[in-house]
Amino acid sequence: MASTYTLISSNVLSGSAASVTFSSIPSTYTDLVLRVSLRTDTSASFVQTNLTFNSDSSAIYSATYLYGTGSAASSTNYTADTYAREVYYDGANATSNTFGSGEIYIPNYTSTTSKSFSAFGVEEDNNSAARIGVEAQLYRNTSAISSITWAATSGQNFVSGSSFYLYGIKNS
């Protein structure tokens, strides 16, 4: 790992929570990396989660998605979402105590142009139904990113033990 890869902040849930927000993110880095290990209490094996920047739920998130299950693959494009869809993570029907893992990479998060970023997430259930989602995403806002909110879908929660690690990367 590069020596410029610095942990900004982290949180490991000791109880359930519907969302986790990193606020007042310093603008002193070049890129941001958010690494997570997630499981929700949604009644499903695999779930979508939602990411927003700067508490902004305008329809200015777009993305191209690639999904794979090991036996099939598909792709979808969204152009005017009110959040960035992050897939796939474990739901309540996945094998007990298994967590999905994923990463968001946000280069040039303080730039004055739209922010392109990449993401992947994997749902793992120690069974045959594991799957992966890979996303090329865009946040069409020219403000620097100063907060990131990762939320479970409506009425659902991230379960205890889910973890969130935000890193900053400097290019020098």
For binding to other proteins (CB under 8 A), which residues are involved?
A: 8-11, 13, 15-26, 48, 50, 57, 74, 76, 82-83, 85, 151, 153-155, 157, 166
Residue 135 C-beta: closest distance to other proteins, Å: 14
Residue (34 or 130) nearer to other proteins, CB: 34
For residue 96, what are the contacts with CB-CB under 8 A and spacing of at least 6? none
Residue (120 or 165) nearer to other proteins, CB: 165
CA 16 to chain centre: 17
Residue (117 or 167) nearer to other proteins, CB: 167
Residue (65 or 117) nearer to other proteins, CB: 65
Residue 88 C-beta: closest distance to other proteins, Å: 12
For residue 54, what are the contacts with CB-CB under 8 A and spacing of at least 6? 141, 143, 145, 146, 147
Residue 151 C-beta: closest distance to other proteins, Å: 6
In single-letter form, the type of residue at position 128 comes to: S
What letters, b where the CB count within 10 A reaches 16 and e where it falls short, cover 19-54?
ebebeebeeebebbbbbbbbbbebebbbbbbbbbbb
Question: Which residue from 103, 105, 104, 108 is spatially nearest to 143, judged by alpha carbons?
Answer: 108
Are the C-beta atoms of residues 135 and 63 closer than 8 Å to each other?
yes
Residue (118 or 153) nearer to other proteins, CB: 153
Residue 134 C-beta: closest distance to other proteins, Å: 16
Residue 63 C-beta: closest distance to other proteins, Å: 12
